[in-house]
Homo-oligomer: A and B are copies of this chain.
Amino acid sequence: MNPTPPHVYPVWLDGQWRAAQSSSPPFQAINPRTDEALPGSFPVSAWQDLELALASAARAFEELRNVPREQLARFLTDYADRIEHDAETLASTATLETGLPVAPRLREVEIPRTVNQLRQAAGAAADGNWALPTIDTANNIRSCHAAIGPVVVFGPNNFPFAYNAIAGGDFASAIAAGNPVIAKSHPAHPTTTRLLAERCAAAMAAAGLPAATVQLLYHFASADGLRMMADPRVASLGFTGSRHAGVALKAACDAAGKPSYLEMSSVNPVVILPGALAERLDDVVEKFCTSCLMATGQFCTNPGLVILTEGERTEQFIQRVQERFSAAPPGVLLTAGVRESLAAGVAKVVGAGARVMTGGGAAGSNAPVSFPNTLLRISGSEFLENPATFQTEMFGNASLFVIARDTKQIVEIVRSLEGNLTGTIFSAQSSGVDEVDYARVAPHLRQRVGRFNDDKMPTGVIVTAAMNHGGPYPATGHPGFTAVGFPACVRRFSMLQCYDGVRQEHLPPLLQNKNPTGKTWRLIDGGWTQADVPSAPAATA
């Protein structure tokens, strides 16, 4: 176990950039357009680094108790400003590490969303609405959600900003609740993450937050990750990534009795009823192809499973999509690992009997890192013979069309589905022709997904209070929570805290008689209000 050599970037622990302790060689990011290594070596931390992160985060959590929530809000706002200010630099770095285009994706969509999320988190930290403060004046019993303790955040490969472990939604949620964050960068975009961390550090210093409020590690062994989740100094986990890694981390948290919030795999079933194709075939083709090929299909809400009823229009639909898929040049994939995993997924589904309409093939090794746009098809009966295999996630520019005999079979197919982030039904809008089928299918699909869409593709997750970016297992680890949408997403990283007969001066500001901001919503004696508690039962008792 030695400090990494000077040319390897340091980790950020307990407020300082330090040479990592490591017993593994450092790694470099790969430009997926050229398949060549990018400048900069990053360390694989040994347990010593994780231990320092844990001890420092535990101390930071105690210090954060005395930090007013407005100070957290100032930090989040300032951090957002700094990202916005340096958007050009950040986007031009991330495009090299991810292959995602600077414009519009990174600079005009993802960075603004990231900045917006941090600002919404700042609002949540300041107003406390996320905490659902609840007051029973007659009994002087009061409760609210509150910080839970140090949160480890694992960022995914596909959103270098909006889900980055040190800038994305999980990060912003955990901080808004008052928790320290130990961020684990995705190793595919370490320089983007480092640039974010530098801006984060500047904002933290400006806001005067405890030194270890945010810490950054680039990489560590899986076993050390599991050991960290079992450690009592960690309170919770925010994870976005593969099902394999997520399930292992969840098991470590479960065994230690701590809540974890994971976003794993989803095929996002889309049911297209006949009336929709009769009414607007071209529109549905356009929407599907755009949704499935945008960003080379690398969205957790990518429409990976499309269920149709057999018939002439369905064949027309498939043919048009096939033509579009064949004609469109395949986009760049994030990493060679994504390509291998996509090729393996396609091979598994084809091996089980799906026909290749277009695309398919082996992973290959040429640059740019890519895979042919792939469209597969099977019949509903084939699907039902092996529903688990045909729900294999093919993360990337691929989709499986299932052609059902009739609506009865669609219902059977939907009932065989695992939990998903989203579920969608396209149906006729101008006539009521699909309404009976909709009513038969929708309840079953509804119960298996977090977000239900009418007539729109599942990609495009709007950051709003009403969003649910979540769903039943294995889409996530808990069906009651959303990863996107303030203020609800903040509640993930909290515990419920009740005060029974506690004197005014011992209460947190959110639960004192006086409304702490003058505008925080509190549930007082059964009604939501922004008013103060009318009298002072505890103080005058």
Question: Chain A: residues with CB nearer than 8 A to chain B?
Answer: 62, 65, 132, 134-136, 139, 141-143, 145, 148-149, 250-251, 254-259, 419, 422, 438, 442-443, 446-447, 450-456, 462, 464-468, 470-474, 477-482, 485, 488, 491, 494-503, 506, 521, 523, 526-528
Contacts and interface: CB of A to CB of B under 8 A. Distances in A.
B501 A454 contact: yes
A500 B452 contact: yes
A479 B496 contact: yes
A251 B254 CA distance: 7
Given A145-B480, A480-B496, A496-B482, A527 B523 contact: no
Contacts of A471: 495
Contacts of A496: 450, 468, 470, 479-482, 488
A465 B465 CA distance: 23
A134 B454 contact: no
Contacts of A450: 495-498
A455 B143 CA distance: 17
Given A452-B498, A452-B500, A495-B472, A134 B466 contact: yes
Interface centre among A250, A255, A259 (most CB of B within 10 A): A259
A465 B144 CA distance: 11
Contacts of A446: 497
Contacts of A470: 496
Nearest to A145: B480
Contacts of A62: 443
Contacts of A442: 506
7 contacts: A139-B462, A258-B473, A450-B497, A450-B498, A452-B498, A454-B506, A480-B496
Contact of A467 (B143, B422, B452, B488): B143
A336 to B, nearest CB: 30
Nearest to A65: B443
A419 B480 contact: no
Nearest to A460: B500
B136 A465 contact: yes
Contact of A141 (B136, B141, B447, B464): B464
A534 B145 CA distance: 31
B452 A134 contact: no
A169 to B, nearest CB: 15
